Chain A
Amino acid sequence: MADAIMQSREAAAERLKRAPLVTNNRSMSWITNHVASCTEKPAPTWWWIAFTLSSSLALVSVFCIGYLISTGVGVWGLNHPVGWAWDITNFVFWIGIGHAGTLISAILFLTRQKWRTSINRAAEAMTLFAVVCAGIFPAVHVGRIWMVWFLAPVPNSNAIWQNFRSPLLWDVFAVSTYFTVSVLFWYTGLIPDLATLRDRATNKFRKFFYGIGALGWRGGNRQWKHYEMAYLILAGLSTPLVLSVHSVVSFDFATSVIPGWHTTIFPPYFVAGAIFGGFAMVLTIMLPARAIFGLHDMITDDHVDKMCKIILLTGSIVGYAYAMEFFIAWYGGNMYEQYAFINRATGPYWWAYWTMIFCNVVAPQLFWFRFFRRHVLSVFIVCMFVNTGMWFERFVIIVTSLHRDFLPSSWNMFYPTWVDIWTFVGTFGIFFALFLLFIRWLPMICIFEVKAVLPEADPHHGHDDQAHAPVGALKEVAH
């Protein structure tokens, strides 16, 4: 009898046991060596090819922006009534992608999700690079970029003061705050690993630059104590930002009176969409990086599985929001609102709308099945769909709402010019070039945090399993 109970308890314990976060019983030194060596070995040929391609693409964007600034915004295809088009679409697309990193590093940190440790560094770096790409568009779309300082509340001889009731101004503050806090958070988390790279450095240059970056980190108890407190505070500061930034971005639209924009569902819908698109982009770049650098023991299939589940959840929220927009348009009884939504699905931009629905709502449903969450190629393909779909979502919201003006004589279509297209394509070059530099210069996985989730890091590791069991629990049964 007792044996049977014991066996069933053991079986249950076996089932409840969490899968290890680092597989193949890798040791601490293996982790340090493996991650640090990615920055220490000479750059492989593929890296040079990829970097050349992406930085060339980045230059295309730089050229297009130079052409735009020197000539004027007329080189873009937007015109009345579509006054916002690819510029703001691209801005919202990139800023949305920039949400996953901080969600992973701040919210998952506060909720003690230890699986975040192996992906947070790269995801946060991706966040920063996405915000860099995002920041380009609102900056250059103002036309006279040398006047962009008008956005900053500084006393000036024009006596211009900002309109603090405008969500466009909130947007400037929200995005710049987000970028600043994200940089601080990312850098704080890097310090111990920069010290590791400094200590491993074999030449003066590396010693010098990583030495500066490490800020004199020695890894003493006091330093760790301060570090952990600083990191916790920054995580606490970042957490509301994850939710606020995209809420504020959605206010750019929601506080206007354009049918199709003027909806209260926008903030939560935008935040869910941002996390959705952000996680898809994290997987899009992590899966190739994992394959190339052989990081399967740290970024395991379980990690991918969990991220797929978040994509499924947020994708379903986004799908719900799409449905709810239609419901409210009908239930609200406003004919202009109704027209805006019927026109979205059946008007001249129907193809964009249904692309969005397929990519964002239908494709992620595959992740209900374990097989598709565990199959790298299917995960990658779904993520590419999500990336595409999230761009189309912003395009649909912006362009289809604007192209049918209140005055039917103003109705017009939007056609991008080559400058529109290449500026956007070029931002991918900027994004990937920055990411490639990141994986060469900085440890792409948080070495010290991954070591902390190893079984050896547990103070009770290696003790008798029952030594710390509650008094009279298992032992009593065994007798």
Chain B
Amino acid sequence: MANFFPSWANWLPLKLLVIASVLGAVVTGGIWYYFTPKYTNVGYMPEQPVPFSHAIHAEQLGMDCRYCHSHVEVAAHSNVPDTQTCMACHSQIKALSPKLAAVRASWEKGTPVEWVRIHKAPDYVYFNHAVHVNRGISCYSCHGQINEMPVVYQAEPLSMAWCLECHREPEKFLRPPSEIYNLSWRPASAQDQLAMGAQYKKEWKVNPPVGCGGCHR
């Protein structure tokens, strides 16, 4: 049984090696792009039971974030407002709007509106809203330009690497305490931000944890 393998078999290992490396690069690149939160989570915009618009409430009417998300300054969890908060205004304003039927039904039955959660940290992450907003981190840093969103979507990946970007260099994101809930505020320039951020970091002793125990208690 001489010459069992044809002569093209000589190049087969090299060809297989090339194919394997290309395939490896494609798979790695594909996972890096398609299977990470910046692709899988950013832009997540589920349909909500009530067509609530932040653009109308926060931007046009100029309501403060804290009118509805009333626990954000004092608790780890930032609450979604209850039906009573909505009805405080909507029992008078647009009281018969068909868009608010679900809110009125909830008010009558005493069952909450089932909002679809968008921003979700895993259960092994202990994120504290109060500590962030009280130390110079605006809603904008994590939730994006939410005051201009007719329908809320996830603007940032909320991946661990993304958290650490800020935890390692908080001076790039710290802003004046008066501007925390002003989502349209921008620093004058990048240099200004760094100078101001460094100052706040020093004055407020901002020392964000970068070890595991900081967030995964």
Contacts and interface: CB of A to CB of B under 8 A. Distances in A.
Interface of A: 156-160, 201, 204, 207-208, 211, 216
B4 A208 contact: yes
Contacts, number: 26
Contact of B38 (A157, A207, A208, A211): A157
Contacts of B88: none
A207 B159 contact: no
Nearest to A208: B4
A160 B164 CA distance: 10
Nearest to B163: A159
B160 A207 contact: no
Contact of A158 (B1, B38, B159, B165): B159
B37 A157 contact: yes
Contacts of A159: 160-161, 164-165
B38 to A, nearest CB: 7
Interface string B161-194: 1101100000000000000000000000000000
A211 B10 CA distance: 12
A160 B160 contact: yes
A156 B161 contact: yes
Contacts of B160: 157-160
A216 B161 contact: no
B197 interface: no
Contacts of A157: 36-38, 157, 159-162
B204 interface: no
Interface residues of B, number: 14
A211 B36 contact: no
Interface string B53-80: 0000000000000000000000000000
B8 interface: no
Interface in B141-173: 157, 159-162, 164-165
B12 to A, nearest CB: 9
A466 to B, nearest CB: 46
Contacts of A204: 1
A216 B1 CA distance: 14
Nearest to A158: B160
A211 B9 CA distance: 11
A156 B10 CA distance: 38
B169 to A, nearest CB: 13
Given A157-B157, A159-B161, A207 B36 contact: no
A216 B9 CA distance: 10
Contacts of B10: 216
26 contacts: A156-B161, A157-B36, A157-B37, A157-B38, A157-B157, A157-B159, A157-B160, A157-B161, A157-B162, A158-B159, A158-B160, A158-B161, A159-B160, A159-B161, A159-B164, A159-B165, A160-B160, A201-B1, A204-B1, A207-B1, A207-B4, A208-B4, A211-B4, A211-B5, A216-B5, A216-B10
